[in-house]
A and B are shown apart, each in its own frame.
Chain A
Amino acid sequence: MSALREALRRLVRSRALPTQFLALGSLMVIYFLVRLLTPEHPNLDAAPVDALGGSALPTPSDLMDSTAALGFLLLGAFISGNISRAAGLPRLTGHLIFGCIAGPQLPAALGLPQWTLITTGQLNHLGIVNALAVSLIGLNAGGAIRLSFIRRHGRGLLLFVSITTSAVALFCGAAGWWVFPSMLGSESTLSGSQTLAIAALIGIICATTSPAACIALMRETGARGVMAHAALTATVCGDLICSIALSAVIAFTAGTLDPNFALRSGDMGVVWHLVGSFAVGAIAAPILQILGSKASARPQTAVLVGALGLALVCTSLSLSPLVAALSAGLVQANVLPGSSRRFFEGIDSLSAPVFCVFFAIAGAGIDVNMLKVLWPAALGLVALRAVTSTFFTAATVRFVGLPPPARRWLWTALLPQAGVSLALANEVHSSFPDSSWSLALWSLLVTVIAINETLGPPLMRYGLIRAGEASWSK
């Protein structure tokens, strides 16, 4: 309650807020009016001919409209992120909420489809932004892993991360196994093995954390102590384990979950999926490195080309873009640290626009009708995740060998969720797009992530302050 009061107090006191609200409101009204005034593209009864009597092909209207949708999502998500920030909440919360308001699901749930600002067709054409964002998230997270820190705290840290991650995955997975089939209602046709596989997916995604939130808070508060470093390494290692585990679960259970699944199933498929992803990432690292160093004047363009290329190559080879990007980032930051600085700077400057659109698209995809049913389960999962994570962190943190204040507050760093979690949830949804359970699972996971992403960072900031690594003034 005190956090909520603090957010409201900040909102009321912020001087820039009226302008931001005005800008957001005006943008939405103007965009709506433009959509209203835009003439309907006629459904052509006959094939159009050109001036020479040959066939003509006008560009599909949805494809043409997707550019305006992209700009609208970008600007709207940016302004709502500013509003969210002014309230002391993460920017990503603002992006998600804006996406939800602008997308097709909320107006449909309210029975006002004519108020839809961004249609499903337009969202489909923006899929390439998702590929790019997943790649950037992976590169950023992989780049945050410091092998020197792991070597120093190696065994203890690995033990701590493995036990905590497994425990959270196990408990949340068990809760998912119990709750998820009932959420689908009486029409649910899930078999026992399908329920088990879905439970594993729920557990793994609940066990992910947020290296991005960690990095952002370290920057924001200037925290550079042992807790901050331990938190960053633990979150990245935990997410790496979860990414690998999720890829393995998808590959092993693909046939069970959806008979039409395209990935090569079987043992070799799993090996190829994991080892191949790592190998492609490791091979890509020096190429990205060269791209970054050669393009010192325009590192953003080099990052754009490199990250997009990595994502598309992985998708075409049935590999995990996230794992490959993690591996590429890790190799770049640890094997080629000096010359990769420009590349990571490029990622930083490109992250803002890409994440605005990525999270807004995620928000636009949330099925609000389903959310009305899902919210108790989502809240339950959030609470269970927090309790399990806190308990097992307290029980195993002594393996890491941290000093007492850091040891006491490390659990706060494991609560935020953001990009990696959403990327993994998207991977599950895009792997089984036509399955009856897929949208419900995705909506549940996105709700859980949104709650953790909203509540987690303020808690972690509080933990850093209490551990003596940051102060209230920052």
Chain B
Amino acid sequence: MIVAEQSLSDAPQLDVALRVFIAIAAIYALASLTQSGLAQRMRRVPAIAMLISGGWLAVLTGMIAGPRALNLLSESTLLAASPLVVVALSWVGLIVGLQARVVIIKAVPAEVWKWVAVDAALAVALASLAAWILGGIWLIESPSQGSWVVMIWATLTCASIGWSPETRSLRPGLGAKAHRLGVLIQAGAGLCGLFSAELSAVCVGLVHRSAEGIASASIPDMTIAILLAAALACVLALGTRVVLGQSISDGSSISVIVLATVAITGGVAASVGLSPIAAAALAGAAIANVRGPLRITERILNRAEPVVATMMFMLAGALMRLPDHPILWAVAALLVASRVVLKPTVMRSSLWHERASLALDGPLARATIRQAPLAIAVAVTAAVFEGSRFSGELLGLVVITGLASSLIGAVQSAQQSSAIEVHE
């Protein structure tokens, strides 16, 4: 994990434990702060709403507390906390996977499918171009270069595909048209999230180290890992359903089962070198589609969402490195520009036939510019598995793209909102 030049055994265990505790306390305090009444009131200011809803406040805290600033979250602390991070990543995956209920997926309108398909195709094309540019200019020549390019491609595809499902901070208004557009945006984001979660397997799974320390793309290894994760996910889903069914009356028992499922799925995925997000999303999808106490499982998972989200963003801040090479900044600009230009256009053209029932000129018209938060979790996964300047800068690229796109999305939505008010 991370660029941990100092191994865990070098640092005094107690010092590390105390630092882990400080990190947990900071995450808890920040999560509580963002949920407080004061924060809710301050969300009326668009810039603050963007900071809080997008998790950028937590990213900033992570950067300040991280190894490259105050060093409160030192590299050894982050290394010691990696089992906790795996649990959090698995938690994210499970929440994403639980949305994959066949009944819900069948109810998604055809326009949204078309919209998602076009968006995914464009994201893949754009990520391929960016990976090709970075592979040629940024990376050094080595036997592993092909593997690293694939890893960049997968990470940037996850970052480019989809958009943030959050719409409240954009103050979409109360009309039925705005509400319907908001629902479609969330449905599209959910579908893209599922695709991203599974694609995140490639970010970690494809690259294996040989005894000589050389990274190589091992498709058979990755296939075995994915099959193993899928089989485990199905068995766990069925087992969880059986055990949950017998403990339905006992809230704490259900918490134990959910927590254990999250830890086993993420842990096994991490052990076989697969992304915990991808494995847990598979398990979540399987759980969502077997009959059982799904609601209570979702409620338990959602209760921890603010804490897990804050942790993810803080980690991103602590692990990221600001890009050193100008080409990374150029690629970030390319990705942001493509989001600003392409995302709203694709949305408008895909939903054009429905324009009578949708507020396509309202503030939500710009909502899709903002990068999905899942992209950051995917980039964090790679940095957690292997600490290096490469994974830190790649994460930095994703964070910068996310921040810039959120900022532009929020500003353009606010302008749109003001324009409508003036017009009225």
Residues of the B chain whose Cβ atoms lie less than 8 Å from the Cβ of A71: 259-267
Chain B 224-262 residues near chain A, CB threshold 8 A: 224, 228, 232, 235, 239, 242-243, 246, 251-253, 255-257, 259-262
Quick check: B213 and A47 within 8 Å, CB to CB?
yes
Shortest Cβ distance from A232 into chain B, in angstroms? 21
Quick check: B242 and A19 within 8 Å, CB to CB?
yes
Asked whether B271 is an interface residue with its Cβ less than 8 Å from the other chain, the reply is yes
Q: How many residues of A contact B (CB 8 A)?
A: 70
Quick check: B83 and A75 within 8 Å, CB to CB?
no
Asked whether B389 is an interface residue with its Cβ less than 8 Å from the other chain, the reply is yes
Residues of the A chain whose Cβ atoms lie less than 8 Å from the Cβ of B8: 60, 63
User: Interface segment, A35-43, A183-191, A443-451?
Assistant: A35-43
Asked whether A267 is an interface residue with its Cβ less than 8 Å from the other chain, the reply is no
Chain A 71-102 residues near chain B, CB threshold 8 A: 71-72, 74-75, 78-79, 82
Quick check: A34 and B138 within 8 Å, CB to CB?
no
A-B contact count (CB 8 A): 220
Q: How far is the CA of A16 from the CA of B144 in the complex (A)?
A: 53
Query: Which residue of chain A has the shortest Cβ distance to B14 in the bound complex?
Result: A316
Residues of the A chain whose Cβ atoms lie less than 8 Å from the Cβ of B304: 298, 301
A75 with B260, Cβ < 8 A, contacts A56-B386, A56-B390, A298-B303 known: yes
Indicate which residue in B138, B212, B232 contacts A52 across the interface (CB closer than 8 Å). B138
Asked whether B20 is an interface residue with its Cβ less than 8 Å from the other chain, the reply is yes
Asked whether A53 is an interface residue with its Cβ less than 8 Å from the other chain, the reply is yes
Shortest Cβ distance from B176 into chain A, in angstroms? 31
Quick check: A58 and B252 within 8 Å, CB to CB?
no
Query: Which residue of chain A has the shortest Cβ distance to B225 in the bound complex?
Result: A39
A301 with B387, Cβ < 8 A, contacts A48-B213, A67-B266, A71-B267 known: no
Quick check: B263 and A74 within 8 Å, CB to CB?
yes
Question: Do most interface residues of chain A lie in helix, strand or loop, or is the interface mixed?
Answer: helix
Residues of the A chain whose Cβ atoms lie less than 8 Å from the Cβ of B35: 297
User: Interface segment, A166-174, A239-247, A307-315, A364-372?
Assistant: A307-315
Indicate which residue in A37, A53, A349 contacts B224 across the interface (CB closer than 8 Å). A37
* Highest count of chain A CB atoms <10 Å: which of B86, B242, B393: B86
Chain A 348-376 residues near chain B, CB threshold 8 A: 348-349, 351-353, 356
Question: Do most interface residues of chain B lie in helix, strand or loop, or is the interface mixed?
Answer: helix
Asked whether A68 is an interface residue with its Cβ less than 8 Å from the other chain, the reply is yes
Q: Which interface class (under 10, 10 to 19, 20 to 34, 35 or more) fits B? A: 35 or more
1/0 per residue A56-70: CB within 8 Å of B? 111111011111111
Quick check: A52 and B263 within 8 Å, CB to CB?
no
Residues of the A chain whose Cβ atoms lie less than 8 Å from the Cβ of B140: 51-53
Quick check: A295 and B265 within 8 Å, CB to CB?
no
Asked whether B211 is an interface residue with its Cβ less than 8 Å from the other chain, the reply is yes
Quick check: B211 and A353 within 8 Å, CB to CB?
no
Asked whether A128 is an interface residue with its Cβ less than 8 Å from the other chain, the reply is yes
Q: How far is the CA of A23 from the CA of B239 in the complex (A)?
A: 7
A316 with B271, Cβ < 8 A, contacts A45-B211, A54-B388, A58-B385 known: no
Asked whether A339 is an interface residue with its Cβ less than 8 Å from the other chain, the reply is no
Query: Which residue of chain A has the shortest Cβ distance to B213 in the bound complex?
Result: A48
1/0 per residue A291-327: CB within 8 Å of B? 0001101100110110011001101100000000000
A46 with B384, Cβ < 8 A, contacts A16-B246, A39-B272, A79-B243 known: no
Asked whether A131 is an interface residue with its Cβ less than 8 Å from the other chain, the reply is yes
Quick check: B267 and A294 within 8 Å, CB to CB?
no
Q: How far is the CA of A236 from the CA of B20 in the complex (A)?
A: 32
Q: How far is the CA of A43 from the CA of B212 in the complex (A)?
A: 9
A67 with B267, Cβ < 8 A, contacts A48-B209, A348-B252 known: yes
Asked whether B21 is an interface residue with its Cβ less than 8 Å from the other chain, the reply is yes
Quick check: A352 and B25 within 8 Å, CB to CB?
no
Shortest Cβ distance from B299 into chain A, in angstroms? 12
Residues of the A chain whose Cβ atoms lie less than 8 Å from the Cβ of B82: 59, 63-64
Q: How far is the CA of A312 from the CA of B90 in the complex (A)?
A: 26
Quick check: B32 and A23 within 8 Å, CB to CB?
no
Q: How far is the CA of A312 from the CA of B21 in the complex (A)?
A: 8
Q: How far is the CA of A79 from the CA of B242 in the complex (A)?
A: 12
Indicate which residue in A20, A67, A79, A294 contacts B83 across the interface (CB closer than 8 Å). A67
Q: How far is the CA of A39 from the CA of B210 in the complex (A)?
A: 12
A48 with B215, Cβ < 8 A, contacts A59-B385, A65-B271, A67-B263 known: yes
By a beta-carbon cutoff of 8 Å, the part of chain B in contact with chain A is 1-5, 8, 14, 17-18, 20-21, 24-25, 28, 31-32, 35, 79-80, 82-83, 86-87, 90, 138-140, 142, 144-145, 148, 151, 208-215, 221, 224, 228, 232, 235, 239, 242-243, 246, 251-253, 255-257, 259-268, 270-273, 303-304, 307, 384-391, 393
Q: Please, could you name 19 A-B residue pairs with CB atoms under 8 Å apart, sorted by A?
A: A30-B235, A44-B212, A48-B209, A54-B390, A56-B387, A57-B3, A58-B1, A60-B8, A63-B79, A64-B271, A65-B270, A70-B267, A71-B263, A71-B265, A74-B260, A294-B32, A297-B35, A301-B28, A352-B256
Give the 9 A-B residue pairs with the shortest CB-CB distance, closest first. A68-B267, A71-B263, A71-B264, A67-B267, A50-B388, A75-B260, A48-B213, A51-B148, A56-B388
Apart from A57-B5, A312-B17, what 10 extra A-B contacts exist at CB < 8 Å? A34-B232, A38-B268, A50-B390, A50-B391, A52-B390, A57-B387, A63-B82, A67-B267, A72-B264, A79-B243
